[in-house]
Amino acid sequence: MTTHERPAGPDDVTGTAPAPAPGAGADGDAGADARGVPATVVADPARLADTVELLGLVAQLEQVAFARLAADSAVAPTTDQRLQLSRFAAAAITRRDAVLARIVELGADPVAAIGQFDHVLDDFDARTQPSSWWERLLKAYVGYGVADDFCRLAADALDEESRRVVLAVLDDAAHAELAVAELDAAGADDGVLSARLALWGRRLVGEALGVVQRLLVQRPGLARLVAPSDAAPAPAVADQQASGVAAPANPPTKVFGELTAQHTRRMSRLGLTA
């Protein structure tokens, strides 16, 4: 998605981006140090803090995915599913650790970064207790799918390496494929189940969007990352200071439009009405 990328304009060259190097002069390649940490991130403590905040959230979502997949594995109807689901759970830990490693590279504390989101989905989980194996699968696919989409949107505003790490983590869709295959097979010959799951999907997306809304209110750093002005490739210093660091007045409605559209796409893959 390129919704947030402003076209590069004349004001861009005066920003914190590396100056065009006359024979790699004083500023040549000053934009990144040996760890792949762009100078803009290091030089701007507020932007660094926002980056670490998003990385902490992504790591926590993987931790939550691990716990959920492990629990799913314990109640899976067949041994084969148990084996697969616990393998997915283990993969979530590998992904989480990749994100934590990036936080360390940025010089921040990984335990504090993930720990601040320890209970981020507790409310969501309490309100959306699945009552069947199918509801459980759909919750994984739809509910956490919204959270992933949100992180993907916010990742557009990160430095290149952090964005690469986040997108790689979020794109590992093996578990989604399992959910799709099983739900599709189950719903195909059961109209009652399909209707019930469509209703469940609407409930899940409503609760999930509520989580995003609360996050944007409680976490100005995340709000800044998805704010349209922040997503410009290299904003002017003055703009950046004035608008980039302050939290935007309203949670961007564009974000919710995008999340809803992705949800609709996801449900239609299952042959369910969003």
Q: Which of 93, 186, 193, 209 binds a copy of itself (CB under 8 A)?
A: 93
What is the three-class DSSP state of 32?
A: strand
Residues 114-173 that bind a copy of itself (CB under 8 A): 114-115, 118
Contact 211, 124 (CB under 8 A): yes
Q: Is residue 83 within the footprint of a copy of itself (CB under 8 A)?
A: yes
- The number of C-alpha atoms within 13 Å of 224 and in the hemisphere containing its C-beta is 22
Q: What track of x and - describes contact with a copy of itself for positions 6 through 45 (by CB under 8 A)?
A: ----------------------------------------
Q: Which 3-state string (H, E, C) describes 124-190?
A: HHHHCCCCCHHHHHHHHHHHHHHHHHHHHHHHCCCCHHHHHHHHHHHCCCHHHHHHHHHHHHHHHCC
Q: Which of 63, 128, 194, 240 binds a copy of itself (CB under 8 A)?
A: 63
Q: Which of 2, 79, 129, 131 binds a copy of itself (CB under 8 A)?
A: 79
Q: Is residue 80 within the footprint of a copy of itself (CB under 8 A)?
A: yes
Site size with a copy of itself, rule: CB under 8 A: 25
Piece of 5-13, 33-41, 73-81, 237-245 that binds a copy of itself (CB under 8 A) = 73-81
Q: Which of 1, 71, 168, 188 binds a copy of itself (CB under 8 A)?
A: 71
- Count of residues in the chain: 274
Q: Which of 13, 90, 104, 195 binds a copy of itself (CB under 8 A)?
A: 90
Spell out the residues 6+ positions from residue 189 whose beta carbon is closer than 8 angstroms to its own. Answer: none
- Helix boundaries (H) for 76-138: 79-105, 110-115, 122-127, 133-138
Q: Which of 19, 49, 70, 101 binds a copy of itself (CB under 8 A)?
A: 70
Q: Is residue 97 within the footprint of a copy of itself (CB under 8 A)?
A: yes
Q: How far is the CB of 74 from a copy of itself (least distance, A)?
A: 6
Q: Is the dihedral of CA 30, 36, 41, 45 positive or negative?
A: negative
Q: Is residue 61 within the footprint of a copy of itself (CB under 8 A)?
A: no
Piece of 82-90, 150-158, 165-173, 253-261 that binds a copy of itself (CB under 8 A) = 82-90
Q: What angle separates helix 45-75 from helix 144-155, to the nearest 10 degrees?
A: 160
Residue 273 identity: T
What is the three-class DSSP state of 27?
A: coil
Binding site for a copy of itself (CB under 8 A): 63, 66-67, 70-71, 73-74, 79-80, 82-83, 86-87, 89-91, 93-94, 96-97, 100, 111, 114-115, 118
